[in-house]
Amino acid sequence: MTPVSLMTRPIPVTAIQWDGRNIQPLMDFLEGTDVEVRIQGGVVKIVNGESAQVILDGQWILDNHGVIQLVEPEQLEKYFTVVDPNQPNVAAFAALMKERLDENVKANWDSTDPDELREDFKRNSDQAVTGSLISLLDVANYAMMLHQRGDGT
């Protein structure tokens, strides 16, 4: 089997950092999840079924779509990027592009006539001014395809 290049999917998660005092914000954060917070002798634990984890000062508690995990600050800095809500989220848009591309199965786009790709790009660009997310994703995907092929428009 031939090796392939892989990239992890950009999956947005929410998190809160434990500072040893923010018990109410932590409990609010975990509300609606399958875990509970227990305080025993000044020690704070996250309990999920029969499993209990002690939360240490500085640790981050991540909610990865219902899966709660504790992460050390160094690991958070190494593997996660804080998303600024006032800045474009390129990773999330790229994930939407990938989903749209998979929906349309452009399996043989690399053998498509470059003029046809440019025409599809132009047609979708004209439709994108309506603000339709699907049109915007299609334009972005055609631009990516043309760029990857080395073709300009």
Helix (H, G, I), strand (E, B) or coil at 118: helix
Give all strands of the β-sheet with 51-54 in edge-to-edge order: 36-40, 43-48, 51-54
Residue 2 has pLDDT above 60, yes or no: yes
Query: For all residues of the chain together, what is the average pLDDT?
Result: 81
Helix (H, G, I), strand (E, B) or coil at 36: strand
What's the pLDDT at 10?
Answer: 67
Greater confidence (59 vs 131) lies with 59
pLDDT band at 131 (very low <50, low <70, confident <90, very high): low
Distances (CA, A) of 29 to 22, 62, 100: 11, 10, 32
Residue 53 has pLDDT above 80, yes or no: yes
Q: Report residue 150 as tokens.
A: 């080395």
Paired sense of beta strands 14-17 and 67-71, if any: unpaired
Alpha helices in 90-132 (DSSP H): 90-104, 114-128
- The pTM score is 0.56
What's the pLDDT at 107?
Answer: 46
